Chains A and B, each alone.
Chain A
Amino acid sequence: MKEKGFIITVDSFISTTLVLVFVLVSFYYLSNISLNAWNTVDARTLVFDEGAVLEKSNALENSVKLVSSEPLLTSLNATPSGYCFEATVFDATMTNPIIHAIKTGCTKNSTKLISIDRAFVVRENAISTFYIARVDVWGQGA
């Protein structure tokens, strides 16, 4: 090896480079830490809340009895801003959608969709009929 130059050996050069790359890659991943996972938890919590509220406020039952999406839409429009909600009522076989509503101003084009199904019973003229409501949520703009 020549007298001049501060790199003593090729081995030390490679090891120094590897350490530098390792440190930079670590910093890159650390600087990208975010709370996005919690946003999913929030959306999941909200969709369970909305399912419960739709049932307990009788919005599901009223929409079936009136054959109207209006009770559902009123409830969906009162959900927190920043989230889009959609509700669909199916018959017991889950094949025929009977009523459908989507929050005003939302379009369903997100791939990050969280869905829940909630069963409910509507009693009319002494006849009880079983229905299933599917509620979807996604982030507005996601």
Chain B
Amino acid sequence: MSRKFISQKGQFFSPDLIIAVGVFIFTLALFFTSSNSVFARVGLVTDQKAADEVIHSVLNSLVFSSGSPSDWDSRNLSDVNSFGLAKSSNILDENKFSALINDLNTPSTYLQTKTKLGLGEYDFYLRLVDRGNSEVLGGGKVSQNPRVKLLYERIVLYNSRQLVLQGIISLQGQ
């Protein structure tokens, strides 16, 4: 390199280098800014996808299965292997639905109930709504300031009425 670009104190100097470093830092800053927002979005979509799979699976079990044992609603919660609400597919048993809502609404049984439902770390709120979106019966918990919150719906018959079963799954924000 020509000697005129090197100062007397031994520091390297060049207008070209300053521009090059400026462009490099600008590109690097742009990359990190963009990557942070993109990775945050990808992370959120991944979280939503995981929650979606869980809620699909849970509501499928509730709507299609009678649970195990099939008379779980008349037993202790510790004896329940899995929950199910179906008399037959898409027709809900009123007693089982009331029993599950009662377990979800009771603080001492909420955690055990959602664990047996296969919900893991997610909070869960289950309800039946009519065509005016008014709640007929429901219970559970929705996370405060949730990072992920999803609503999943199934069409069911309850007490000979066509209603919509809504499951709300949520995950506490960090």
- Is the beta-carbon distance between A33 and B41 smaller than 8 angstroms? yes
Chain A: interface size category: 20 to 34
Indicate whether A126 reaches chain B with its CB closer than 8 angstroms. no
CB–CB B41/A30 < 8 A: yes
* Partner among B27, B31, B42, B153 whose Cβ is within 8 Å of the Cβ of A80: B153
Judge whether B38 and A6 touch: CB under 8 Å: no
Across the interface, do B152 and A33 meet the contact criterion of CB distance under 8 Å? no
Q: Which of B23, B45, B90, B157 has the most CB of A within 10 A?
A: B90
Beta-carbon contacts under 8 Å, A43-97 to B: 45-46, 49-50, 52-53, 56-57, 75, 77-81
Contact B45 A35 (CB under 8 A): yes
The answer to whether A53 touches B42 (Cβ under 8 A) is no
User: Bound state CA distance, A34 and B48, in angstroms?
Assistant: 10
Which residues of A (1-58) have their CB < 8 Å from a CB of B? 3-6, 20, 23, 27, 30-31, 33-35, 38, 41-42, 45-46, 49-50, 52-53, 56-57
User: Once the chains bind, are B155 and A49 in contact (CB under 8 Å)?
Assistant: yes
B90 touches A56 (CB 8 A): yes
How many Å from the CB of B135 to the closest CB on chain A?
A: 14
Q: Is A57 a contact of B42 with CB atoms below 8 Å?
A: no
Q: What DSSP secondary structure best describes chain A's contact surface? A: helix
Bound Cα distance from A50 to B163, whole angstroms? 11
Give the CA-CA distance A48 to B160 in the complex, in Å: 18
A50 touches B56 (CB 8 A): no
Cβ–Cβ contact A33 & B42, under 8 A: yes
Q: Are A52 and B153 in contact (CB under 8 A)?
A: no
Contact indicator A80/B56 (Cβ below 8 Å): no
Asked whether any CB of chain A lies closer than 8 Å to the CB of B94, the reply is no
- What bracket does the count of chain B residues touching chain A fall in? 35 or more
Contacts A41-B56, A77-B131 given; does A56 touch B42 at CB 8 Å: no
| Residue-wise interface mask of B (23-41) relative to A, using a CB-CB cutoff of 8 A (1 in contact, 0 not) | 1000100010011011001
Which residue of the partner chain, among B16, B42, B52, B153, contacts A38 with CB atoms under 8 Å? B52
Residue of B nearest to A4 (CB): B16
CB atoms of B156 and A6 under 8 A apart: no
What's the Cα separation between A130 and B83 when bound, in Å? 36
Binding site for A on B (CB under 8 A): 2, 16-17, 19-20, 23, 27, 31, 34-35, 37-38, 41-42, 45, 48-49, 52, 56, 63, 88-91, 130-131, 133, 152-157, 160, 162-164
Q: List 11 A-B contacts (CB under 8 A).
A: A6-B17, A6-B19, A23-B31, A31-B38, A33-B45, A35-B52, A42-B153, A49-B63, A52-B90, A53-B155, A78-B131
10 cross-chain pairs, A with B, having the tightest CB-CB distances, nearest first:
A6-B20, A49-B155, A78-B131, A78-B162, A52-B90, A80-B153, A6-B16, A30-B38, A33-B45, A80-B164
